[in-house]
Amino acid sequence: MQSVERIVRIVNSFSLEKSKLSLDDLTKKSGLPKATVYRIAEALCKEHMLEKDTLTSTYRIGIKLFELGSLYLSSMRLKDVAFTEMEKLHLKTGETIHMGILDGNEVVSIEGFESSRSLHTKLLIGKRAPLYCTAVGKAILAFLPDADREEMIKALDLVPQTSRTITDKNTLREELETIRLRGTAFDKGENEEGVACVGAPVFDSSGEVVASISISGPIFRMGEKVMFEYSNLLKEVVERISFALGHGSQM
C-alpha cells in the first residue's frame, strides 16, 4: 500500500462524531498496523496536520488541515457570492465575463459568462493565461503584497504574446503601479490580437486579493471611452463581491 493511501486512511478515520481518537482507535479504524499508524500520526503532528493531546494521548485534526479545508470553502464561497454579480455584469455589458484566480505564475479561469454576440471572446473554464499581459492576471499581480509581487515579477518570463505585450520588467512595474492607482487593469491586445479586456481585483476579509473579474470583447467594441466606463462599472461590482466576502474597506 502506498504511503499516501495510508495517510488518507488515517485522516479519514476522524469524523464529527469522533473528532478525537486514540492510537488504538486509529489502528482499528484505518486497518493498518499499530506501529505504522503511530509513525504516520507522529509525522503528521510534526507537519501540524494532526495535533496530539499529551494528557489523554489522543489525536485530532490539526490547524494545517483546517486551513486547507478553509481554502476549499473560501473558493466555493467566492464563486457563490460572485455568480449573481457576474451575471448582472454580463447582461449589462453583453460581453464575456471571467473570474480568475492565481495559480503559480498564471491565472486560471474558474467561472464566467460567455457573450452571445456573433463576435466575442470565448469562455474556457480551467484555461490558464499569463499574469503579465492579461487584465485578469495584472489585476491580481498589482494587488499582491509588495514582497510577493516583486518575487513574482523576478520569476516571470515575459514572453511576447503579441506586438503589444509588455516584455520589460521595469515597464511592467510601472504598469502595475498605474493599476493600483486606477483600481483596474487594462489589456488592449497584449495577450491576443484584436481583444480588449478590463479586470479588477476581489479581496477577502483579510484584505488579500483572492481573485479578479474581467470584461472582455473585441477591441473595436471596447474603445477608450468604453474601457473607462467598464472600469468604473467593474469597480462597483468587485467592491460588492469583496464586501460580501468580509472586506469592508473602499477600493
Residue pLDDT, tens place only, 203-228: 988 899 999 999 999 999 999 999 99
Instruction: Report the distance separating Cα 128 and Cα 102, nearest Å.
Output: 10
Q: Where in the chain is the domain with CATH 3.30.450.40?
A: 72-244
Fold observed for domain 3-61: Arc Repressor Mutant, subunit A (1.10.10)
- Report which of 187, 174, 184, 191 is spatially closest to residue 229, judged by C-alpha positions: 184
Amino acid 246: pLDDT:
84
- The answer to whether residues 119 and 218 touch, using CB atoms and an 8 Å cutoff, is yes
72-244 under CATH 3.30.70.1380, yes or no: no
Contacts within 8 Å (CB) and 24+ apart, 217-222: 217/93, 217/95, 217/96, 217/115, 217/117, 217/120, 217/121, 218/119, 218/120, 218/121, 218/194, 219/188, 219/189, 219/194, 219/195, 220/194, 221/95, 221/119, 221/196, 222/95, 222/196, 222/197, 222/198
> Around Cβ 136, how many Cβ atoms within 10 Å?
30
Q: Where in the chain is the domain with CATH 1.10.10.10?
A: 3-61
- Residue in this structure with the C-alpha cell 478515520, named with its chain if needed: 13
- 124 pLDDT higher than 90: no
pTM of structure:
0.69
- The answer to whether residues 201 and 212 touch, using CB atoms and an 8 Å cutoff, is yes
- 240 pLDDT higher than 90: yes
34 vs 2, more confident: 34
Confidence tier at 74 by pLDDT (50, 70, 90): low
Amino acid 15: pLDDT:
86
- 250 pLDDT higher than 50: no
All three cell numbers of 84, joined, read 449573481
